[in-house]
Structure 1
Amino acid sequence: MARPTSREAQFSSTLPASVRGVDRRSLLRGAIGAGALFGGAALLGACGSDTEPSASGGASAAAGPVKFGMNEAKGSGPAYERLAAMAAAYATKAGVEVTQNAVDHNTFQESINTYLQGTPDDVFTWFAGYRMAQFAENQLISDISDVWPIDGLSDAFKKSATAPDGKQYFVPVSYYPWAVFHRKSVFEKNGWTQPTTLDELNALMKDMQGKKITPFAFAAKDAWAPMGTFDILNMRLNGYDFHMELCQGKQKWDSAEVKNVFSTWATLLPYHQENSLGRTWQEAATSMANEECGMYLLGTFVVDGVPPEAQDDLDFFTFPTLDAAIGNDALDAPIDGFCVSAASDNQDAGKAFIKWLGSAEAADAGNNAASAPFIAANAGASTAKYGELQKKSAEVVQNAKSIAQFLDRDTNADLANTVITASLQEFIKNPSDIDGITASIQQQAASILG
């Protein structure tokens, strides 16, 4: 993508709160429903899917054949299974062909700008946040305001789909928190408890090392993965507002506050798996599942990298407090969903498909076909396949005071993909050059953001 124009340079300061971070109380009220939280066997009240399409957000008279770009490779696991099943269910329901273009996650994400400016599929998987709004600003995705409201999606989710021009460009399907995952049986066997402070975390990590267990699984071959560690350390040390202002170019990457984040990270790196630059997140998840590592900071999608027999043994905790004045009630909780490509010549069919993808019926089709469910954004979706992990994930998001999307979703795409990813990998290789790394990021951020 070309360097931002002057209009784009001002873009970060104009983003509404709904794009910068979704209000967690209204989001969870819409997704879960009053009084339904963890009071029974199901997290949400299940809703049948026998309604007519027009009542449930399903296919309309404009339904037609569509091409569906999926950010999961065929056979890659539950995430692919869910997307493929949703596409197949719509094809059957609407009586149309849905051509699936399944691409591995990293390739899809790293090539998205070229993809959207070439000959993209009609509908494609994407995320809420700055990058969705940036694509709207650059007219790479279509205004889909006419598909809203979508039954079962709350106003908070609609806000997450809204760009600064007040129009909707995105349909949410699921969300998940980032947290520290571990196997319950390993903690129980070793008498470990979930830490809530830095002192407790340090004691736990040292005990793990003493028992020949690497405290943290870690992967950096997936260039985006280390962003989760930066996000959480920045929010724990400097607070949510500072983190979002940094993403928007209102704070400096070479400031004392950001340098402190990297300094703190440097003290934690010896407790992480070595050679992370050659390891995928799935391989790191397997290391935790195999009890080679004690913990893993990742999103709830970690279950996709854990063998089915170990999934029920997973538990998690939010990253501990590092500054008592700031606490630990901020987290990343990205929202996933879909957009319609502006370059598509099949706009009506794309809109019919994307509206159905936001329905409870679509969420149920995906979860019923997958070995692990996602946490559905639609309040009417069945929770029959939810385990304790999914229920706890929703509870953690509800109790969070502040919610970020993720670093590569909360800031400019060029800055995230061409500067920050490389800089974080450079830091992992050479954690002593904090001054040089932060100065380089700031110089390029100033050029990109203005």
Structure 2
Amino acid sequence: MNQSRRTLLKSAVALGAVPVLPALAACSGGDPAGAPENSKATSLGSGLADAVPKSGIQAMVDGFQRSSGDTVRLNVMPRQQLIDNVSTYLQSNPEDVITWFAGYRMRYYAGKGLLAPIDDVWEKVGKNFGTGLADASSYEGKKYLVPNYNYPWVVFYRKSVWQQHGYEVPATWDALLALCARMKKDGLTPIAFGDKDGWPAMGTFDYLNMRTNGYQFHVDLCAHKESWDSPKVQAVFDNWKQLLPYQDTGALGATWQQAARSLASKKSGMYLIGTFLLQELTDKAVVDDLDFFAFPEIAVEGTDAVEAPIDGFVMAKRAEKNQAAKDFLAYLGTGKAQDAYAAKDPSNLQTAADADRSTFSPIQKKAAELIANAKSVSQFFDRDALPAMANNVMIPALQSFLKDGKIDIKGLETQAKTLYASA
């Protein structure tokens, strides 16, 4: 998870709950009536304000302008400012195209009629995206997002450690538990873990939920179409309780970076984390010794659901007749455009199938294949669920669970009812 993504998780704001900041209102928008169909101009509202991703977005804009002859007015705003004020922004005078996220954060605004469906754009670029990416970009049968990049959460390990002890990749839950017991006997911490900042535990919850109850239950629970005080949710925590003896006992006092160093120093046998791990482990000898596997199956057969948060682009409702905006979105869904972004920001994986992967490391290539072959792609919990549910409820609940293995699912449901009713 990159720095801006971690910053996002610190926000305890419900979607659309905060009035628009003057700076956002003053900088946003174009023609309030929307551009005509034959327009040669469009606009992009970008929340990627940090230097590296900002340069990547600029490279995409420059490439489109050169190839099309159209013009793109770029409005860059602080990421958190866009997130906190997006509801008011979309209802006022937003740019035509906007950087945004898949999952609940997309579906919520599509359901409110604030985003335009872009099925005609997908007719041009759909071949570039697998089923999982397509489903994550959809709401009620229509497409609303063009994916730009993502990164999977996987179980990392050091090949040399596994070769030394003769460990094998576990395909099932029972095999994982048996491997953990063996690692503990061998003097290793089976699972590196750092949850001081609160968000890493959500990745574990997501996989346990999908492998126990399936991808659709995960999506429905996050949208509060399923109840938190159900036997299915209790089963997730019952399974997790079996893992607690094998996760790092100092997790609540450690950051994800400290947990990464535990894996790097061969003190831990495994680590469930996003491929942003490579931002922290930069020693080539260590990186070359890394490999990973998909979180093993539990009650649901297979490992076809992959946790891989997707960043991309949506179109404001007011721009649905602007052909230049649609042409811009179609360009953004090509490998050429995403390669231009990746040349400036190589920390994430291009999603387009025709992107250039010739410079990918073995880890990057394997990660890209994992996502491309996934039947379902979930977002990190805070993107698939209401942000206030993630931050105000789940972080403290999961941290408490890590202390004593106890969880109050009735309390989770009570809080969920209140938060989702007011969203």
Bin for the TM-score computed over the shorter chain: 0.7 to 0.9
Letter in 1 for 2:262: S
What does residue 192 of structure 1 align with?
Answer: 167
Q: What do the CA deviations read for 1:123-155 (whole angstroms, capped 9, x no partner)?
A: 654321222110223455555567554445348
Match of residue 239 from structure 1:
214
Q: Structure 1 residue 180: deviation in Å?
A: 0.9
Residue in structure 2 matched with residue 260 of structure 1 by the alignment: 235
For 1:158 and 1:187, the matched residues in 2 are separated by 36
Matched, 1:61 2:71: no
Q: Which amino acid aligns with 1:390?
A: Q
CA distance in 1, matches of 2:61, 2:383: 28
SS in structure 2 of the partner of residue 70 of structure 1: coil
Unmatched 5+ stretches in structure 1: 6-59, 75-80
Q: Deviations over 1:254-313 (max 9, x none)?
A: 223322321321231232223434444344333322323221112333323321513332
**1:20-58 deviations in Å (ceiling 9; x for gaps):** xxxxxxxxxxxxxxxxxxxxxxxxxxxxxxxxxxxxxxx
Aligned to 1:54: none
Q: Is the 8 A contact 1:220 1:280 kept in 2?
A: yes
Q: 2:411 — aligned with what?
A: 440
Residue 411 (structure 1) aligned to one of 358, 382, 385: 385
1:295 and 2:277 aligned: no
Deviation, 1:441, is: 0.8
Work out the number of aligned pairs and report it.
Answer: 374
Q: 1:373 to 1:175 in 2, by over 3 A?
A: closer
* Matching residue's letter, 2:287: Q
Following the alignment from structure 1 to structure 2, what is the Cα–Cα distance between the partners of residues 384 and 3? 39
Q: Find the counterpart in structure 1 of residue 7 from structure 2.
A: none
Please give the alpha-carbon distance, in whole angstroms, between the structure 2 residues aligned to 1:276 and 1:232: 18
Q: TM-score, normalised by structure 1?
A: 0.69
Q: What are the within-5 Å matches in structure 2 for residues 75-90 of structure 1?
A: 81=52, 84-90=55-61
Distance 1:395-1:67 versus aligned 2 partners, 3 A rule? closer
| Partner-residue secondary structure (3-state), 1:392 | helix
Pick from 367, 388, 396: which aligns with 2:370?
Answer: 396
Cα pair 2:15 2:386 within 8 Å, conserved: no
1:404–1:63 Cα change, 3 Å: closer
Mapped pair 1:115 → 2:94? no
Task: Tell me if the contact between 2:102 and 2:311 (Cα under 8 Å) persists in the aligned partners.
Answer: yes
- Once residues 155 and 330 of structure 1 are traced to their aligned partners in structure 2, the CA distance between those partners, rounded to angstroms, is 13
Pairing 1:196-345 to 2, within 5 Å after superposition: 196-309=171-284, 310-323=286-299, 326-340=301-315
**Could you tell me which amino acid in structure 2 is paired with residue 337 of structure 1?**
G
Which residue of the partner structure matches residue 138 of structure 2? Answer: 162
For each residue in 1:377-398, what CA deviation from the matched residue of structure 2 results, as whole angstroms up to 9, or x when unmatched? 2222111122332333344345
Match of 2:358 among 359, 377, 384: 384
* RMSD (CA atoms): 3.8
Q: Which secondary structure state, in structure 1, belongs to the residue aligned with residue 276 of structure 2?
A: helix
Which position in structure 2 is the counterpart of 1:360? 335
Q: Deviations over 1:67-93 (max 9, x none)?
A: 52128x54xxxxxx4663342353476
CA contact (8 A) 2:333 2:352 kept: yes
Structure 1, 189-198 or 138-147: larger mean CA deviation: 138-147
Taking only the aligned residue pairs, the percentage that are identical comes to 39
Q: 2: distance between equivalents of 1:132 and 1:353? A: 19
Equivalent residue number for residue 26 of structure 2: none
Is the 2:16–2:88 contact (alpha carbons within 8 Å) kept by the matching residues of 1?
no
CA distance 1:287–1:235, change in 2 (3 Å): same
1:92-111 matches, cutoff 5 A: 94=65, 98=74, 100-101=76-77, 108=80
TM-score under structure 2 length normalisation: 0.73
Distance in 2, Cα, partners of 1:355 & 1:289:
41
Are the aligned partners of 1:84 and 1:100 in contact in 2 as well (CA < 8 Å)?
A: no
